[in-house]
Amino acid sequence: MTAPITPEGTGQLGPGVLKIGATGSEIDVSCLVNNAAIESSKEAAESTTKLCGNVRAGATTYTFQLTGDIDVDAGNESGLFALSWSEPGSEQDFTFTPNLELGTTAKGKLVLDPLRLGADEYGGDLTSPLALDIVGTPTITYAVTP
Burial grade of 112 (CB within 10 A; 0-12, 13-18, 19 or more)? buried
Q: Which of 112, 91, 97 is nearest to 143 (CA)?
A: 97
Assign 145 a pLDDT band (cuts: 50, 70, 90): low
Assign 3 a pLDDT band (cuts: 50, 70, 90): low
Report the Cα 86 to chain-centroid distance in Å: 21
The domains located in the chain, with CATH, are 15-42+61-141 (2.40.30)
User: What is the per-residue pLDDT across 40-53, written as a single tens digit (0 to 9) for each?
Assistant: 999 989 999 989 98
Whole-prediction pTM value?
0.84
pLDDT at 137: 97
Give bridge partners of residue 80 from the DSSP assignment. Answer: none
